[in-house]
Each structure stands twice: as structure tokens, then as C-alpha cells.
Amino acid sequence: MKKVLFVFFCLLTIYSCKNDSKDAAASIRQETNVNSKPKLVVGIVVDQMRYDYLTRFYNRYGEGGFRRLMNEGFNCKNNHFNYVPTYTGPGHASVYTGTTPKYHGIIGNNWYDKVIGKMVYCAGDDSVTPVGTTDNAGKMSPHRMKTTSFADENRLFTQLRGKTIGISLKDRGAILPAGHSANAAYWFHGKDEGAWISSSFYMDELPNWVSTFNASDKAQSYLKEWSTIEPIEGYVESGADLNNFEGGFKGKSTAEFPYDLKILSEENDGFDIIKATPFGNSITADFAIEAIKAEQLGKDNDTDVLTVSFSSTDYVGHNFGVNSKEIQDTYMRLDKDIKRLLDALDAEVGKGNYSVFLTADHGAVDVPAYLSSHNIPAGYINNREGKSKLTAFLKSRYNSEDLVENVSNNQIFLNYNELKRLKLDAEAVQKTILEEVIGYPNVDKAYTAKTMASVNFDVGIEELIQNGFNQKRSGDIIVNYDPAFISYGKTGSTHGSGLNYDTHVPLLFYGNGFVKGSTLEKTVIPDIAPTMSALLGVSFPNGATGQPLDFVLK
């Protein structure tokens, strides 16, 4: 009997050890799976999204969109741009390159090229041909962006096996994030076409799935009535629907719901009107979901990158302003589109197999006329008046009306041929102009190119201006205006400053490789790309100045 019991206990011990071994192996496999690279990275940029749109409309969001990212992911609540100007082109470039305009070179959406003596567009490229259209809207590429994106580095790391695809209504919102080595970038051409297009920089012709999407009635289906998605009486987080601070559409006398887009499209550039409504975000989500499926993104062991920029929020903000019912409805609808995108990722790639970050390219200021109506200092800059005043001063001081070659993006560019003709020292003229313009109404500060290139600033607006100053591309004098004073019309809103309303934007991390939580520690936009590079184990973008956010990573 003792022998039987002895054998029984031996067998039991062996069995337990085997089970422990299996459990340990399973644990190792589980740990390996948790720590493995994502099969797909999705970068989401919401154009003109202030941070407080997360909190202001929080109770109006469902569980599967913004709130899913906030509550199941990591929320960086004190995230800022660390440079000016806060525009779309520089914003998208900075998110994905991990640096500022000082290094990546995208100093605006448009800027004055001192070498060729004319304005250039950040994504414009006459050396390429349109694909999917004959319109010049297809003559675009990332050739003016000087540095790599983290998507470029992932492509290099995977020997080009990992795909990169960029998608946005705006060409610059698709092209700059995707980087130089992308498989494709697609943007929406409205007018009378309503089609997703590209350029010969990426391909010779559109893939079949894109042509099929364009041939469908998807764009046409969004030329419909835009009314609030929920009863407008419940929109207590925004101002009155009818007010004096909104632009609206041609063909409708008031800027109030509802809007019949099919009728209004006739006077508002055809399919382009879709961009200026929440349905522009919806068709972007439609197209992105189709790209995930058709391109088989996240289906193999080489990480793919999908960049998606939702641009309609910017168009609506410019038209109606921060406090409008239209902007609230746009974000409530975007919440549902983000849910659709996340649900598609769950179905096509699988939970735990993908990683997402969501941020913005800039914020926006409340309509200055609205702020003034509540006794908050705000107003408008008259650029034409300021330029005329400066021209008269230079005529009086130097007997020349040609010393200034261009004024744009709050910068003054000198005419160096005229300086040479008059035998004037450029630095002396810069200083003279600075001393003149600093006295103009609502000019808060001004700096010369000499100062920006020779003095190192590490605090305040001076640091932000310096981070946005590119010695080869920026102007001779940089002007900074008072808070909430903008060069814009009296309705709708804009952006571009270094103030909190323009710099404070969301930053959410979710999915494979990220922990759950939040922080009030300050983070800056250039930190995003190094964080994504660290997650993927690839080289940082070659000009990156940001640092990986180790507290968001597992």
C-alpha cells in the first residue's frame, strides 16, 4: 500500500511540474505577445483641435471614440506646440518628424522663397504630375520637408516591406506625415470631381480599389442636409446658433442649421462644400477603412503605418468659430467616425495588434469679436495699413520704396539688391525697422533674424519663435502680436500664434505598447515621433529634437 501511495505522489508531482512548466511557457508567450511590435500604427491628427474639445464635449461623446482613447489609453493633458507659427503644414510635419520648422524646414503653409523671389506652397511640386485628375491639385510631394518622418525610418528598418499610406482631405495633411518613402498619399479633390487623388511622386496610376471608391456614389451621398445629429436644444456646450460671429455659406442668408448641401454646393465649389462640413471627416474615415482592407494593412510581421488627418474640423472652425453649434456638432459626429475607424481596426487587424496616437496640428482662438463682446482684450490686425505705414517710413528714412521685398506670415523680408544699391548694412536696417514696427498698434514683440540666429532662448515666446525660425527660409524681422489679435475677417476664427489657445492640443496614446493613465506633465509635439520610434525599435527621424515619452510605454 505504501508503494502505491509513493508512486501516486510521484506521478502527481511530475504532473504538477509539467503543468507549472506549461503555465510558465504560456506566461512567457503572453508576455512576448504583449511586448511584441504592433502590426499597424495609426497616427490620427485632428486639424484645429483645441485640448478643451476633449473636456468640453466629453459628456456628448459615446464610449467607442474619444472616450475609448482617453479612458483605455494614455492622456497627455498638458501637451503643447513648442514653436510658432502654429499652422497645418508645420504642424503635420512636426508631429511626424519629431522636430520643429527650424530643422524640418516647413515654416508655413506658404512662404516667401528668398532664392526664387516668390511664394511657394509647402507641398507644391511642379516636377510631378497629377494622378487621378488632370487638375494641378495633384502636383504635390514632400520635397520641401528636409528631414525624415518616423514612418520613413520604419520603412528603412523593414527594408521597405512595412507599408506607409497617408490620407487626408488636405494634400499637406496626407503628404507630410507619410514622409518621403511612403507607398502612397491620397487627398480629396472636390470641385466637380469629388475624388481621391495622388501624384506621380508615389505612383503612375491609382490602385483599382481607389478607382472603385471614386466611381461609387460615396461623395455624392454626402451632398445632403446637414442638421444637428442630436436635438439642438441640448447643445448647451456652445453658443447661440444664430449670432454675429459666424461666416456661413454662399446662397444662405444666415449661418444657422439646417444646411442643404446639395443646393448650396452650386455656389460653394461643388464637392468642396463637403470639406467644410463634418461629412468631410466621414468620407475620410470611409476611405481610411477601405485602405486598411484593400492594402491588407497589419496583416504580416512587418509593421505598417497609416496616417489619417481629419481636416473638416479646421474648415468648420475657420468658418464658424470655436464657440459655434457647428463646431460642436462636427466633433460629436467625428467621435462616431473615430469609433468606426477603431471598430474596423479591431475587426481587420485585431485588438492588441495595433497602436494609435491622436493629436492635432494646432488649436484656435475664439472669434475676437465674440471675446470683445465679453470685455476680453481681442481684435484685428490691419496688415495693409501696417505695410503702408512701413513703406512711408522707409521712403522717408532711406528714400526708397523697395527695401521691403515681401511681408507674409508675420515676417518682413528685405530686398537685398536694393540694400546693395543703396550701400546699406542689412543688420542695421533690420534694427531700424524693428524699432519702427514695435511702436505699431498691437505689436507685442519683434525680433531680427540676426537675434534669432545668434542668441539662444530657452523660455517664453522667444523660444517658440526661435524654434520656428529657419535661417535659410525665414524673414529678416519677425513680428509677434498681442494675445487674441489676428489678421482675419470678423467672422470665424484662425490660428498661428504661440499662445495657449493655439499650442495646447490633445495627445492620446492607445493600444499595443502603451500603458493606461494620464499626466499633467508638460509634453511637446516633437516628443511624439521619438516615442513612436522607440515603440517600434527603429531609428529616430534624422532631425528629431524631441524625447521619447517613456511613461506612456509598457
pLDDT at residue 270 in the model: 98
Asked if 364 and 431 sit in the same domain, the reply is no
Cα–Cα distance list, 407 to 217, 238, 396, 413, 464 (Å): 44, 36, 19, 6, 20
* CB contact at 8 A, 448 and 476: yes
* CB contact at 8 A, 538 and 518: no
Asked if 69 and 215 sit in the same domain, the reply is yes
Asked if 247 and 106 sit in the same domain, the reply is yes
**Assigned domain for 111 exists:** yes
Q: What is the pLDDT of residues 30-80, one digit of tens each?
A: 333 444 899 999 999 999 999 999 999 999 999 999 999 999 999 999 999
CB atoms within 10 A of CB 248: 17
Closest CA to 489 of 242, 246, 216, 282: 246
CB atoms within 10 A of CB 240: 13
d(CA 241, CA 321): 12
Asked if 510 and 389 sit in the same domain, the reply is no
Annotation says 164 is catalytic: no
In 47-87 the beta strands, taken as DSSP E runs, fall at 74-76, 79-80
Closest CA to 37 of 275, 406, 300: 300
Which residue is associated with the grid cell 513648442?
82
d(CA 436, CA 430): 10
**Assigned domain for 19 exists:** no
Positions of the chain with pLDDT under 50: 1-35
Domain end: 418, 452, 481, which one? Answer: 481
Asked if 199 and 341 sit in the same domain, the reply is yes
Which of 32, 55, 86, 88 is the catalytic position?
88
With the CA atoms of 78, 516, 351 and 70 taken in that order, what torsion angle do they form, in degrees rounded to the nearest 10? Answer: -40
Strand pairing partners for 45?
Answer: 309, 359
pTM of the model: 0.93
**Assigned domain for 411 exists:** yes
Asked if 66 and 136 sit in the same domain, the reply is yes
**Assigned domain for 6 exists:** no
d(CA 234, CA 57): 12
pLDDT at residue 36 in the model: 84
| CATH number for the domain that contains residue 418 | 3.30.1360.150
Asked if 453 and 509 sit in the same domain, the reply is no
Asked if 416 and 347 sit in the same domain, the reply is no
Asked if 100 and 218 sit in the same domain, the reply is yes
Helices (H), 98-170: 101-104, 150-157
d(CA 320, CA 303): 40
pLDDT at residue 227 in the model: 98
Asked if 515 and 547 sit in the same domain, the reply is yes
**Assigned domain for 32 exists:** no
pLDDT at residue 155 in the model: 98
Q: Which domain holds residue 394?
A: 382-441+443-481
pLDDT at residue 146 in the model: 98
Q: Which amino acid is at 309?
A: S
| CATH number for the domain that contains residue 351 | 3.40.720.10
Which residue is associated with the grid cell 526664387?
116
DSSP letter (8 states) at residue 147: S
Q: Does residue 181 come out as left (phi exceeding 0), alpha (psi in the -120 to 50 range) or beta?
A: alpha
pLDDT at residue 334 in the model: 98
**Assigned domain for 336 exists:** yes
